[in-house]
């Protein structure tokens, strides 16, 4: 048991030097619709360069939709999304995306080839691809798995490959869509600690979607709580001004957790109530 | 310490596994042999009750096969039919895979080609035998084209179905990692589609065997189909039996080889056969 967890944890190695700097992200009055469905309404958020922002909200509230828009997968109906002042017009290697499911990995490529995919697509030399891949595999503690295939790895390791793959492209913004949502509790905790460390060494801006309050408190500089969908917007933004690494049982953490729980609880109740009313109307 | 205690328990387990596997393999093989023997027994009974003019007995079929093999007819037939099938089927793959990729990937191509595919896939190759001979003559090309015809639609349809089943997150991941449209097609869509292509190739191989007999109805000098058709003219039921059984065995061998090669070479593409 201990052995398995041990194997999943990376050895403490020297972090690769990184001079990539995060970019500032501005979301201004963004509306997203799918046909007649209004997913996200009038969201405005300013994310500082190098900041770790968590989007927290009940499931189905449009957090992932907003993230897809930031990644350039879904164009907003109105409003603007800019990265360092430049509008997002489509998928961009500067905007890396870590998906919730490791289905996003390329099963037919080895771990190293997966991580080298971005540099390869961008025409980097073979040597540079290899070097970048190994560098970022070392950062996530998977150097020893470079020649394996994704199917031979555990869920936690696969998500690490995804993170390394995104970082190997040296993006300025990393977008993460509930990346640890499908992992078991122990692995998730290890991954969260790892994520805090990786973010600190890489210096990029992170927008991290989650519905887990503790995860948000552990990782974020600020937590943006979203209202229940449809037509979701940002309800409130909480700064998490606590030293890292964070202690789960610190009084300030407990206080923040209560505040967030009340805030989200209110939204969940509202959405349940709305559903109830819909059903009344249908009758 | 833990290592020392762990080893003895681990070892017998790893030693026993291949043995158990071998036992299971033997049992499967044994059951297959029993099944074939029972089949031959029933065949023998049918031959005895209906007589040699309707059903050639296993014994008669075997001696006919030996005679046909001795004078070279059987070998030549196998080679001729095998070649036609491999060439027509191979061309079907060569055309069907790229067309299927384009149909799956580009909606305009899909809309343009869909009516034709939906029309032609319901017309069996045998309906084209006359036209093939009139247009292409009695040479090899008419037979190869019929096999190609029977293979190409099924490969195209399977490939395009595979393209449409590629997971959205893989496509998005590739795009956001900096891959262009062409790179996504080559590096993500094609590899993701491999299991579907292999399934299409296997189905097409089966269809090719169904078609070879009708392709060889007219004006084929050699081939298993032509062996079956000409034997009818001589009233040689035993030769017909030889042709049919050889066709089945050849199909089984081709499919087996395809399965083994595909599952070895394309294992990492998710091909499980």
- pLDDT, one tens digit per residue, over A214-240 is 999 999 999 999 888 778 888 889 999
Of B165, B181, B157, nearest to B270 by C-alpha is: B165
Task: Please state the rounded mean pLDDT for residues A59-83.
Answer: 90
**Angle at alpha carbon of residue B170, lines to A40 and A65, rounded to 5°:** 5
Interface touch B177/A71, C-beta < 8 Å: no
Q: With bands split at pLDDT 50, 70 and 90, how would you rate the model's confidence at A58?
A: confident
Sort out which chain B residues have CB atoms less than 8 A from A95's CB and list them.
Answer: 176
SS (H, E, C) B163-222: HHCCCHHHHHHHHHCCCCHHHHHHHHHHHHHHHHHHHHHHHHHHHHHHHHHHHCCCCCCC
CA distances A231 to A102, A168, B121, Å, are 29, 35, 47
What distance in Å separates residue B85's CA from the closest CA in chain A? 30
d(CA B261, CA B251): 15
Query: Which of B170, B173, B196 has the most A C-beta neighbours within 10 Å, making it the best mutation to test the interface with A?
Result: B173
Residue A72: predicted pLDDT: 94
Interface touch B177/A90, C-beta < 8 Å: no
Query: Tokens 């995804």 correspond to what residue?
Result: A162
For the complex shown, is ipTM > 0.90?
no
d(CA A85, CA A97): 20
d(CA B118, CA B109): 14
User: Are A119 and A131 spatial neighbours (Cβ–Cβ below 8 Å)?
Assistant: no
> Nearest residue of A to residue B267 by CA position?
A108
Q: With bands split at pLDDT 50, 70 and 90, how would you rate the model's confidence at A277?
A: low
Element (H, E) at A173: strand A173-177
Interface touch B174/A72, C-beta < 8 Å: no
Residue B25 has phi, psi (to 5 degrees) of -60, -45
Beta bridge partners of B34: none
**Angle at alpha carbon of residue A34, lines to A28 and A40, rounded to 5°:** 35
* Tens-digit pLDDT profile for residues B113-142: 999 988 998 899 989 988 988 898 888 899
Checking if the pLDDT of A149 tops 90, the result is: yes
Task: Please state the rounded mean pLDDT for residues A148-153.
Answer: 94
Beta bridge partners of A30: A43
Interface touch B173/A149, C-beta < 8 Å: no
Of B151, B155, B153, nearest to B210 by C-alpha is: B151
- Cis upstream peptide for B102 (omega within 30°): no
CA distances A238 to A75, A242, B159, Å, are 27, 12, 50
CA distances B25 to A68, B19, B28, B263, Å, are 50, 10, 5, 18
Q: What CATH superfamily classification does B56-269 receive?
A: MetI-like (1.10.3720.10)
Residue A29: predicted pLDDT: 87
Query: Tokens 């967890």 correspond to what residue?
Result: A5
* Tens-digit pLDDT profile for residues A172-215: 999 999 999 888 888 888 889 989 988 988 889 999 999 999 99
What distance in Å separates residue B256's CA from the closest CA in chain A? 23
Residue in B178, B180, B188 nearest the CB of A106: B188
Residue burial A190-222, b: 16+ Cβ < 10 Å; e: rest: bbbebbbbbbeebebbbbbbbbbbbbbbbbbbb
Residue in B170, B183, B268 nearest the CB of A104: B170
d(CA A208, CA A192): 11
Sort out which chain A residues have CB atoms less than 8 A from B169's CB and list them.
Answer: 99, 101, 103-104
- The domains of chain A, with CATH numbers, are 14-34+41-94+171-282 (3.40.50.300)
Please give the distance of CA A119 from its chain centroid, rounded to a whole number: 21
Residue A234: predicted pLDDT: 86
Interface touch A108/B180, C-beta < 8 Å: no
**Angle at alpha carbon of residue A78, lines to A76 and A84, rounded to 5°:** 70
What distance in Å separates residue B1's CA from the closest CA in chain A? 14
Residue in B178, B192, B194 nearest the CB of A93: B178
Interface touch B175/A101, C-beta < 8 Å: no
Interface touch B178/A95, C-beta < 8 Å: no
Checking if the pLDDT of A98 tops 90, the result is: yes
Query: Which of A121, A161, A170 has the most B C-beta neighbours within 10 Å, making it the best mutation to test the interface with B?
Result: A121
Interface touch B176/A117, C-beta < 8 Å: no
Residue B216: predicted pLDDT: 87
CA distances B199 to A18, A40, B255, B258, Å, are 46, 42, 11, 10
> Nearest residue of A to residue B189 by CA position?
A106
Of A2, A100, A53, nearest to A240 by C-alpha is: A53
Interface touch B268/A108, C-beta < 8 Å: yes
Sort out which chain A residues have CB atoms less than 8 A from B192's CB and list them.
Answer: 108
Residues of B with CB under 8 A from a CB of A: 167, 169-170, 172-180, 183, 187-188, 191-192, 194, 268-270
Query: Tokens 């939709």 correspond to what residue?
Result: A65
Residue in B173, B179, B268 nearest the CB of A97: B173
Chain A with chain B: Cβ pairs closer than 8 A: 68
3-state secondary structure of A85: coil
Q: At what angle do helices B2-50 and B58-70 cross, to 10 degrees?
A: 100
Beta bridge partners of A237: A224
What distance in Å separates residue A101's CA from the closest CA in chain B? 8
Residue in B176, B191, B194 nearest the CB of A97: B176
Sort out which chain B residues have CB atoms less than 8 A from A153's CB and list them.
Answer: none
Residues of A with CB under 8 A from a CB of B: 71-73, 90-93, 95-97, 99, 101, 103-108, 117-118, 121-122, 149, 165-166, 169
pTM of the model: 0.81
| DSSP letters for A103-144 | GGS-TTS-HHHHHTHHHHHTT--HHHHHHHHHHHHHHTT-GG
d(CA B190, CA B156): 13
What burial class does residue B3 get, using C-beta atoms within 10 Å of its C-beta: 0-12 exposed, 13-18 middle, 19+ buried?
Answer: exposed
Radius of gyration for chain A, computed over Cα atoms and rounded to the nearest angstrom: 19
Beta bridge partners of A32: A40
Eight-state DSSP code of residue A79: E
Checking if the pLDDT of A274 tops 90, the result is: no
Residue A81: predicted pLDDT: 94
User: Are B126 and B210 spatial neighbours (Cβ–Cβ below 8 Å)?
Assistant: no
3-state secondary structure of A230: coil
3-state secondary structure of B25: helix
3-state secondary structure of A50: coil
List of chain B residues with pLDDT < 70: 1-18, 219
Q: How many helices (H) and strands (E) does chain A have?
A: 9, 10
> Nearest residue of A to residue B188 by CA position?
A106
Interface touch A95/B176, C-beta < 8 Å: yes
């Amino acid at each position: 048991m201990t052995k398995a967890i041990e194997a999943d944890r990376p050895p403490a190695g020297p972090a690769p030097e990184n001079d990539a700097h995060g970019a500032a992200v501005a979301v201004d009055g963004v509306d997203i619709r799918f046909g007649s469905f209004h997913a996200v309404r009038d969201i405005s958020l300013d994310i500082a360069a190098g900041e770790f922002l968590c989007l927290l909200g009940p499931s189905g509230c449009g957090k992932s939709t907003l993230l897809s828009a930031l990644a350039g997968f879904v164009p907003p109906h109105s409003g603007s999304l800019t990265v360092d002042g430049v509008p997002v017009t489509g998928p961009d290697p500067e905007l890396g995306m870590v998906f919730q499911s490791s289905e996003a990995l390329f099963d037919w490529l080895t771990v190293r080839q997966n991580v080298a995919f971005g540099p390869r697509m961008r025409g980097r030399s073979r040597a540079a691809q290899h070097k970048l891949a190994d560098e970022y595999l070392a950062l996530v503690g998977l150097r020893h798995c470079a020649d394996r295939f994704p199917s031979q790895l555990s869920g936690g390791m696969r998500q690490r490959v995804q993170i390394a793959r995104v970082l190997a492209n040296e993006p300025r913004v990393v977008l993460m869509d509930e990346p640890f949502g499908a992992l078991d509790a122990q692995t998730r905790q290890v991954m969260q600690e790892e994520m805090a460390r990786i973010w600190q060494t890489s210096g990029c801006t992170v927008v991290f979607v989650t519905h887990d309050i503790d995860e948000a408190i552990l990782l974020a500089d600020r937590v943006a709580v979203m209202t229940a969908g449809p037509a979701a917007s940002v309800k409130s933004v909480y700064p998490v001004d606590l030293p890292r690494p964070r202690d789960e049982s610190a009084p300030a953490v407990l206080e923040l957790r209560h505040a967030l729980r009340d805030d989200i609880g209110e939204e969940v109740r509202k959405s349940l109530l709305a559903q109830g009313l819909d059903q009344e109307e249908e009758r | 310490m833990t290592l020392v205690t762990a080893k003895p328990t681990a070892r017998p387990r790893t030693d026993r596994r291949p043995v158990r596997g071998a036992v299971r393999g033997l049992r499967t093989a044994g059951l297959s042999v029993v099944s074939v023997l029972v089949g031959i027994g029933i065949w023998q009974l049918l031959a005895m009750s209906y007589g040699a003019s309707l059903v050639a007995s296993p014994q008669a079929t075997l001696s006919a096969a030996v005679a046909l093999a001795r004078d070279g007819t059987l070998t030549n037939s196998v080679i001729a039919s095998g070649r036609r099938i491999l060439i027509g089927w191979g061309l079907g793959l060569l055309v069907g895979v790229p067309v299927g990729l384009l149909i799956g990937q580009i909606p305009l191509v899909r809309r343009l080609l869909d009516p034709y595919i939906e029309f032609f896939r319901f017309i069996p190759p045998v309906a084209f035998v006359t036209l093939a001979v009139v247009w292409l003559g009695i040479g090899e090309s008419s037979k190869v084209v019929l096999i190609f015809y029977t293979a190409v639609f099924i490969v195209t349809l399977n490939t395009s179905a595979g393209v449409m089943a590629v997971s959205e997150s893989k496509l998005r991941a590739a795009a956001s990692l900096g891959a262009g449209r062409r790179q996504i097609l080559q590096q993500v869509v094609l590899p993701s589609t491999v299991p579907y292509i292999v399934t299409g190739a296997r189905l097409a191989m089966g269809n090719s065997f169904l078609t070879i007999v009708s392709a060889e109805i007219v004006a084929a000098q050699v081939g298993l189909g032509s062996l079956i058709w000409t034997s009818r003219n001589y009233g040689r039921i035993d030769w017909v039996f030889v042709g049919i059984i050889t066709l089945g065995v050849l199909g089984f061998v081709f499919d087996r080889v395809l399965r083994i090669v595909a599952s070895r070479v394309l294992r990492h593409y998710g091909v499980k056969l």
